Amino acid sequence: MAIETERKGRIFVIRINRPDALNALDVESMRTFNERLREFRDDPDLLVAVITANGERAFCTGADLKKTLPPETSFVEAYFHPYERSVDEGLYVRAITISDLRINKPLIAAVNGHALGGGAEIALDCDLRIASENATFGLPEPRWASVPAVGGVSKLLRAVPRAVAMQMILTGDRIDATEAHRVGLVSEVVSADRLLDRALELANRIAANGPLAIKSLKTLAARTDDLSLTKSVELEQLLWGLLRDTEDRVEGRIAFAERRAPEYRGR
């Protein structure tokens, strides 16, 4: 299967499995990737997802250029069609646009090897990114007379200093894991053999926290990017108020007083 999944308790692992194609995605594997993300989003028993890939050379190198040539249908026709039909008619980028899915649970990208084009954009769509020592990141679309179409430009500009982002965007050049860590694109760099274990460790630490609090924090991170400080604080206070009387918040205080681990239920 081009997209594999595995449940590890309340953690959902999604693996891209096309190593012979450097984990480039054809339209069918993009569609399956989208379906697996929806499965994670809609399952109340799953709290955190880790997105990674099989093979040692690439995390994901974006769209499979050999299998994503322009179709006969015009772009404007596909653009105004519903999701399923538009993907069939060549607007395949909609199948890997994670932000459109409105997932309010944390996503962790465990990047081993090349994360290029749509692969870099998948990583940028995640809340945490950790990389192996051989990881690279880049948006090479201008070299193929195209531009990123899954938020790569805007998300990279938000993730790293503007000068760094613009050099990557305009040249199509890639940066290695050390540089990605230096500029803040990834939070950690680990050896390839420790990558998944470290991602799962972070996922389990997140999953041990109050589920409603984690969803609220992700909401705050997503919605305060373009707000003033005053408006951001107002939204923080609103979400704090929504959580104040929940069963989990009360349980957290009781567990603290009793010196035991809390047992959260997402209520």
Question: In angstroms, rounded to a whole number, what is the distance separating the alpha carbons of residues 12 and 35?
Answer: 13
Question: In angstroms, rounded to a whole number, what is the distance separating the alpha carbons of residues 180 and 160?
Answer: 9
Catalytic residue among 28, 72, 141, 179: 141
Q: Does an H or E element contain 182, and which?
A: helix 177-183
Strand order, beta sheet including 58-60: 58-60, 114-116, 136-138, 174-176
Structure tokens at 46: 């799953």
Q: What angle do CA 198, 64, 27 make, to 5 degrees?
A: 90
Catalytic residue among 121, 133, 247, 258: 121
Strand partners, 187: none
Question: In angstroms, rounded to a whole number, what is the distance separating the alpha carbons of residues 139 and 137?
Answer: 7
Strand partners, 87: none
Is 121 known to be catalytic? yes
163 phi and psi angles, rounded to 5 deg: -60, -40
CB 37 within 8 A of CB 98: yes
Is 84 known to be catalytic? no
Structure tokens at 2: 């081009």
Question: In angstroms, rounded to a whole number, what is the distance separating the alpha carbons of residues 256 and 189?
Answer: 33
CB 139 within 8 A of CB 164: no
91 secondary structure, DSSP code: -
Residue of 6, 1, 55, 57 lying closest to 28 (CA atoms): 1
Which residues participate in catalysis according to the annotation? 121, 141
